[in-house]
Amino acid sequence: MINLHITNETSRLRTVVLGTANTNGPAPKLEDAYDPKSVEHIKAGTYPKEEDMIKEMETVLEVFKKYDVKVYRPEEIKDYNQVFARDIAFVIEDKFIRANILPDRDQEIEALQYVMDQISPEKIVKFPESAHIEGGDVMPWGDHIFVGTYRGEDYPEYVTARTNMEAVQCLQDLFPNKTVKSFNLRKSNIVAQDNALHLDCCFQPIGKDKCIIHREGFLEEEEYEWLVNFFGKENCFHITKEEMYYMNSNVFSISEKVIISEKNFIRLNTWLRSQGFTVEEVPYAEISKQEGLLRCSTMPLIRD
């Protein structure tokens, strides 16, 4: 049995699901793309190749081996994108919450059935169909759960709006002793630099009391200010619009001291080291072309 345990983003990682690119298949058609960044690369002929993404994910697997982390991979579905394990489910405390994601991606969770079979059935939660949620929008942080959402009345028009307020309420009902704090994110179906696809595309806690944050990812100034005050201005590393575009906030913590980061994030990685972090640099630039990075492709099951 897998005894789930996740209370924050940075405690020592013991067990994780890492997505796979092994049978990703050819580049999708334009009309099948889910986000503006993928569209950009399909049009330019620079959409990532399967073999390049496989190599990138193998480097992350090697880091996990180095730190003695148990890794599960999805069962492979031919010609199907299974890179972003975080979208399809997430763990808070001892609950495995199945996401309600885009209908076209329903098969992804089926590829993890062998993992779910090792979890007590009463610990597996599925919200009502109308409660849309994806793991990239959800961050447990001690007594808090931070959730990215989009509150606009035009929510149905955005393929990039993945978590709604009904799901935020479901989380609050499931964890009544926690403060569920939602953040209204900037969405764009057409301009990747103006789109915070998930909360982890513009914000992520690291270490014990620090965070990476992009101001313009938030539609409400006071919600952005709340986060800065929560962590303390001196503990916030602000990233630029371009850095957000390249997914600088989407790193992944193995512990409070060790962070996996993309090797091209020079400014961020230099700052992280100056703050005492060990930075495990990996190449992940090809995967980032699909508007996701390290946090998006991992789903922690157990942290200390």
The CATH fold assigned to 13-303 is L-arginine/glycine Amidinotransferase; Chain A (3.75.10)
User: How many Cβ atoms from other residues are within 10 Å of residue 289's Cβ?
Assistant: 21
Distance CA 251, CA 238 (A): 14
Element (H, E) at 72: strand 70-72
- Sequence letter at residue 251: V
**97: helix, strand or coil:** strand
Pull the structure tokens for residue 43. Answer: 């049009």
Torsion angle (degrees, nearest 10) of CA 62, 19, 36, 154: -140
Q: Which pLDDT does position 123 carry in this prediction?
A: 98
Nearest to 275 by CA among 303, 246, 234: 234
- Phi-psi map region of 45: left, alpha, beta (phi>0 left; psi -120 to 50 alpha): left
* pLDDT, tens only, 143-197: 999 999 999 888 777 776 789 999 999 999 999 999 999 999 987 766 667 777 8
Pull the structure tokens for residue 165. Answer: 């307020």
Nearest to 165 by CA among 142, 147, 139, 186: 147
Are 284 and 56 in contact by the 8 Å Cβ rule? The answer is yes
Q: Where do the DSSP E strands lie in 144-235?
A: 144-149, 179-184, 203-206, 210-213
Distance CA 217, CA 133 (A): 18
Tens-digit pLDDT profile for the chain (304 aa)?
Answer: 999 999 999 999 999 999 999 988 778 787 777 677 777 888 888 888 889 999 999 999 999 999 999 999 999 999 888 999 998 999 999 999 998 876 767 788 999 999 999 999 999 999 999 999 999 999 999 999 999 999 988 877 777 678 999 999 999 999 999 999 999 998 776 666 777 789 999 999 999 999 999 999 999 999 999 999 999 999 999 999 999 999 999 999 999 999 999 999 999 999 999 999 999 999 999 998 887 899 999 999 999 9
Report H helices in the chain.
36-44, 50-66, 85-88, 107-110, 113-116, 165-174, 221-231, 241-245, 266-274
pTM for the full predicted model: 0.94
At a CB cut-off of 8 Å and minimum separation 6, what does 232 contact? Answer: 209
Q: Which pLDDT does position 189 carry in this prediction?
A: 66
Q: Which pLDDT does position 17 carry in this prediction?
A: 98
Q: Which pLDDT does position 250 carry in this prediction?
A: 97
- Sequence letter at residue 167: A
* pLDDT, tens only, 244-263: 999 999 999 999 999 999 99
